[in-house]
Amino acid sequence: MKKKAAGVPAVMSSLKHISEELGIWQGIKVLNKMNQKDGFDCPGCAWPDPDGKRSSLGEYCENGAKAIAEEATKKRVTPDFFAQNSVESLSQKTDYFLGKAGRITHPMYLAEGESHYKQISWKEAFSIAAKHINKLNSPDEAVFYTSGRTSNEAAYAYQLFVRQLGTNNLPDCSNMCHESSGAGLSETLGIGKGSVTLEDLHEAELIVVMGQNPGTNHPRMLTALAECKKNGGSIVSVNPIPEAGNNVFINPQSPIQVIKGGTKLTDLYLQVRINGDVALLKAAQLLMLEAEKKHPGTVFDNDFIAQNTEGYDAYIKELESNDFAEAVAESGIPEDQIRSFAQLLIEKKKIIVCWAMGLTQHENGVQNIREVVNLLLAKGSIGKPGAGTCPVRGHSNVQGDRTMGIWEKPKEGFLAALDKRFSISTPREHGYDAVECIKAMAENKVKVFMAMGGNFISATPDSAYTGEAMQNCDLTIQVSTKLNRSHLVTGKEALIFPCLSRSEKDIQDSGQQFVSVENSMGIVHKSRGNFDPASEHLLSEPAIVAHLANAVFGDASTVDWKSMLENYDVIRDHIEATIQGFDNYNERVRKPAGFYLPNGARNGEFNTDSKKAKFTVNPIPRKKVKDGNFIMMTIRTHDQYNTTIYGMDDRYRGILNERRVVLMNKEDMLEKGFKNLEVVHLKSVFKDEERLANNFKVVEYNIAKGCIGTYFPETNVLVPIDSVAKGSNTPVSKFVEVEIIKA
């Protein structure tokens, strides 16, 4: 198993991917523009860029380089490609093959009953879409999905179009991602976003990384962790597997570190059982409470609690009702390690908790986040420098899309502002989220499904069920840069709208445009493509929305779509007028490093109904699996971006050339009589339902006992559609009960 992340192999790997896709010199040119103040935002993750100096060697990581190689590839999916490959034959190919086929060059149409996509003009494409949309019995028969790469400008225009049409059916990838964070944080702290800045991470005395694999998914976060260490901070990582990046980090841009061997990051690794996090937090907080009682005022921040919070008594009462030994046992972590963890929590005053999918994709995902908040509130570790909440976002603009109104449950104030600004009457009834949308499709309630990016079919749970549901639609429309499975599992008719990528020049009537994005820490900044489009037939995402709106509403529209299309400054003016925090948007977004959006929790202001931060009661989840069954988490390899498969290796975990694997504890293997690389089948059991995925290789791995790990999206077929988080409806992708069957 790999103990070090990044370093020289990472540089080699980035260059390999880049040179394969675009040739070495073009590749280096592209990389040098990425995340620079005059360049484009990395299409990878949402980790922020430093406000001040940026590395002249490039602000990117290995996986950012892979993301851009994938998007700036020289390979093309042309009308000829579609003529040679039927939808049926393409659907037999792997996700890896589909992704590697290249950039889509022309609008394409799959007519009802046809076997092949055919080239179509944009005008015809919009008119087919408009015909379907205009003949719906109700706008609620259409659904408009968004993946988190879409820029603020495109997202705003898109939601406006959808609400002008008359529905709030705006599910997004967030529904499957950080929705539990948004729900848990809004309720307790009054804002659904994290509270910390990059500076805070540098200043923190203790950073707890829970349910996250930054070495792979947010590599630039390692630089911040290393900085924290340099300043004397401690890092604890809580994970069923010891992820490489959580251990030692070598900054590939620091030649000295490459030679010396890097910074040891994790001081304490806690091998939690899958979903043992609340139990761990309870055990640690019981020890904190004990220490506080012995030396009052030294552990908890009682002033902060008295002035800024409510619900403390109920929280303490529930905490004390837990049995320490039982909490320890439930967490799966040895008691002495929990005591070491608690000691750090007792001593340190500036604490940050970072988390990602390991906490959110659970039935009790919202409760996980609320318990993290309890811990931080007890320590007064919020609303001050070096402390706070850090949900580490996924897609590079997923947070911005939500700020722009991509949400099925919009707030009244926002809708009222849209109504006023555009003289429209937006609908008040909430729309479908991702899971509700799939169920509605299964019930034949959805006739048109449109996706602004993403790969809905592969990203959603219960692949077989979802695939059938999707085929009930009359028309599916995918706005995409690259080919994926969602182009192949379609409605009766299907359209592909090929679009510009982030790194490409976007020229409209008023000249070259830029867009803006919001990163994981609420900084809004500009992103401007520099390269020639992959094909002359591509449209930008805002242009696609404007043309579609024009085709649907014609002259009857009270919204002036043309002016927005001509100049994105106009879209930004609309944003400024309808969304808080965007004053002087057009001016401030042009500043080199952008600007911070207001964040109450960061300043110690809690915009909850009572204006207080809230302690909550979150009992230890006691969900058990049947004897002999396993708890399965579906995770990402080092060589993929969600459903885009860059390569077949998972280098940091030492797994090469195979994705259908089951990471399994040695003792569990012994008990089951499995040999390394033995082929098995997986059967998920949920209520009285069974789902099967065949032919996986068992790989002996240092993973918590009773737990197994498999890769997303191969095992999405095993994730039951009805297994969702309470309060966020997020599919439970990290806790799937499975039976492992010898092949």
Residue 58 CA, chain-centre distance (Å), reads 24
Measured from the CB atom, is 274 or 575 closer to ligand MGD? Answer: 274
Strands of 581-677 (E only): list them: 595-596, 613-614, 630-635, 640-641, 644-645, 661-664
At its nearest, how many Å lie between Mo ion and the CB of residue 61? 17
Selected binder of ligand MGD within 34, 42, 356, 549 (CB under 6 A) = 356
Measured from the CB atom, is 362 or 447 closer to ligand MGD? Answer: 362
Regarding 333 and contact with ligand MGD (CB under 6 A), the answer is no
Number of residues that bind ligand MGD (CB under 6 A): 61
Q: Taking CB under 6 A as the rule, which mask of x and - marks residues 709-738 in contact with ligand MGD?
A: ---x---x--x-------------xx----
Distances (CA, A) of 642 to 651, 654, 691, 716, 726: 16, 19, 22, 12, 24
**Choices 28-36, 38-46, 464-472, 561-569 (CB under 6 A): range interacting with ligand MGD:** 38-46
**Choices 240-248, 298-306, 343-351, 563-571 (CB under 6 A): range interacting with ligand MGD:** 240-248
Measured from the CB atom, is 217 or 710 closer to Mo ion? Answer: 217
Which two structure tokens, joined as six digits, stand for 710? 């498999």
Residue 620 binding result from ligand MGD, Mo ion, none, given CB thresholds of 5 to 8 Å by partner type: none
**Choices 382-390, 630-638, 663-671, 678-686 (CB under 6 A): range interacting with ligand MGD:** 630-638
Determine contact, residues 235/265, Cβ cutoff 8 Å.
yes
The dihedral built from the CA positions of residue 575, 581, 587 and 591, taken in this order, carries a sign that is negative
At its nearest, how many Å lie between ligand MGD and the CB of residue 673? 25
At its nearest, how many Å lie between ligand MGD and the CB of residue 405? 18
Regarding 461 and contact with Mo ion (CB under 5 A), the answer is no
At its nearest, how many Å lie between Mo ion and the CB of residue 639? 17
Q: How many CB atoms lie within 10 A of CB 586?
A: 16
Measured from the CB atom, is 401 or 576 closer to ligand MGD? Answer: 401
Determine contact, residues 377/307, Cβ cutoff 8 Å.
no
Regarding 216 and contact with ligand MGD (CB under 6 A), the answer is yes
Tell me how long the chain is: 743
Residue 246 binding result from Mo ion, ligand MGD, none, given CB thresholds of 5 to 8 Å by partner type: none
**Choices 88-96, 273-281, 391-399, 589-597 (CB under 5 A): range interacting with Mo ion:** 391-399
CA 677, CA 700: separation in Å to the nearest integer?
8
DSSP 666-700: HHHHHHHTPPTT-EEEEEEEETTEEEEEEEEEEEE
The helix (run of H) or strand (run of E) holding residue 511 is: strand 511-513
Residue 374 has phi, psi (to 5 degrees) of -50, -50
**Choices 74-82, 331-339, 448-456, 605-613 (CB under 6 A): range interacting with ligand MGD:** 448-456
CA 448, CA 640: separation in Å to the nearest integer?
30
Measured from the CB atom, is 177 or 740 closer to ligand MGD? Answer: 177
Q: Taking CB under 6 A as the rule, which mask of x and - marks residues 85-104 in contact with ligand MGD?
A: --------------------
Selected binder of ligand MGD within 644, 684, 723, 728 (CB under 6 A) = 644
Classified as helix, coil or strand, 527 is strand
Regarding 680 and contact with ligand MGD (CB under 6 A), the answer is no
**Choices 113-121, 212-220, 250-258, 665-673 (CB under 6 A): range interacting with ligand MGD:** 212-220
Lookup result for tokens 């390999």? 16
The dihedral built from the CA positions of residue 365, 366, 367 and 373, taken in this order, carries a sign that is positive
Measured from the CB atom, is 388 or 391 closer to Mo ion? Answer: 391
Looking at the DSSP bridge assignments, the partners of residue 670 are: none
Selected binder of ligand MGD within 105, 481, 540, 578 (CB under 6 A) = 481
Distances (CA, A) of 37 to 53, 153, 696: 10, 19, 45
At its nearest, how many Å lie between Mo ion and the CB of residue 178? 7
Which two structure tokens, joined as six digits, stand for 194? 């994290």
For residues 140-160, b (16+ Cβ closer than 10 Å) or e, as one string? bbbbbbbbbbbbbbbbbbbbb
**Choices 468-476, 568-576, 598-606, 632-640 (CB under 6 A): range interacting with ligand MGD:** 632-640
**Choices 181-189, 356-364, 550-558, 583-591 (CB under 6 A): range interacting with ligand MGD:** 356-364
CA 41, CA 49: separation in Å to the nearest integer?
9
**Choices 109-117, 237-245, 378-386, 680-688 (CB under 6 A): range interacting with ligand MGD:** 237-245
- C-alpha triplet 214, 173, 729: angle, nearest 5°: 100
**Choices 83-91, 157-165, 171-179, 686-694 (CB under 6 A): range interacting with ligand MGD:** 171-179
CA 312, CA 316: separation in Å to the nearest integer?
6
CA 218, CA 224: separation in Å to the nearest integer?
11
Residue 665 binding result from ligand MGD, Mo ion, none, given CB thresholds of 5 to 8 Å by partner type: none
CA 153, CA 452: separation in Å to the nearest integer?
13
Residues 383-412 that bind ligand MGD (CB under 6 A): 394-395
Outline where 348-426 has alpha helix (H): 357-360, 365-378, 398-403, 412-422
Classified as helix, coil or strand, 707 is strand
Residues 499-538 that bind ligand MGD (CB under 6 A): 499, 501-502
Q: Taking CB under 6 A as the rule, which mask of x and - marks residues 453-472 in contact with ligand MGD?
A: xxxx--x-------------
Determine contact, residues 452/145, Cβ cutoff 8 Å.
yes
Regarding 245 and contact with ligand MGD (CB under 6 A), the answer is no
Selected binder of ligand MGD within 90, 176, 284, 570 (CB under 6 A) = 176
Selected binder of ligand MGD within 164, 168, 169, 212 (CB under 6 A) = 212
For residues 307-334, b (16+ Cβ closer than 10 Å) or e, as one string? ebbbbbeebbebbeebeeeebbebbbbe
Regarding 636 and contact with ligand MGD (CB under 6 A), the answer is yes
Measured from the CB atom, is 60 or 585 closer to ligand MGD? Answer: 60
Residue 375 CA, chain-centre distance (Å), reads 24
The helix (run of H) or strand (run of E) holding residue 742 is: strand 736-742
Lookup result for tokens 């085709």? 551
Lookup result for tokens 């290789």? 697
Regarding 643 and contact with ligand MGD (CB under 6 A), the answer is yes
Residue 378 gets the label, from left (phi > 0), alpha (psi -120 to 50) or beta, of alpha
Measured from the CB atom, is 147 or 251 closer to ligand MGD? Answer: 147
Regarding 394 and contact with Mo ion (CB under 5 A), the answer is yes
CA 390, CA 377: separation in Å to the nearest integer?
14
Determine contact, residues 41/520, Cβ cutoff 8 Å.
no
Measured from the CB atom, is 101 or 559 closer to ligand MGD? Answer: 101
**Choices 268-276, 286-294, 334-342, 412-420 (CB under 6 A): range interacting with ligand MGD:** 268-276
Residues 129-188 that bind Mo ion (CB under 5 A): 177
Regarding 640 and contact with ligand MGD (CB under 6 A), the answer is yes
Outline where 38-121 has alpha helix (H): 62-71, 79-84, 87-91, 95-100
Which two structure tokens, joined as six digits, stand for 339? 């005591």
Regarding 69 and contact with ligand MGD (CB under 6 A), the answer is no
Regarding 491 and contact with Mo ion (CB under 5 A), the answer is no
Q: Which residues bind Mo ion (CB under 5 A)?
A: 177, 394
Q: Which residues bind ligand MGD (CB under 6 A)?
A: 43-45, 63, 147-149, 173, 176-177, 210-213, 216-218, 238-241, 243, 272, 274-275, 277, 356-358, 361, 394-395, 452-456, 459, 479-482, 484, 499, 501-502, 541, 633-636, 640-644, 712, 716, 719, 733-734
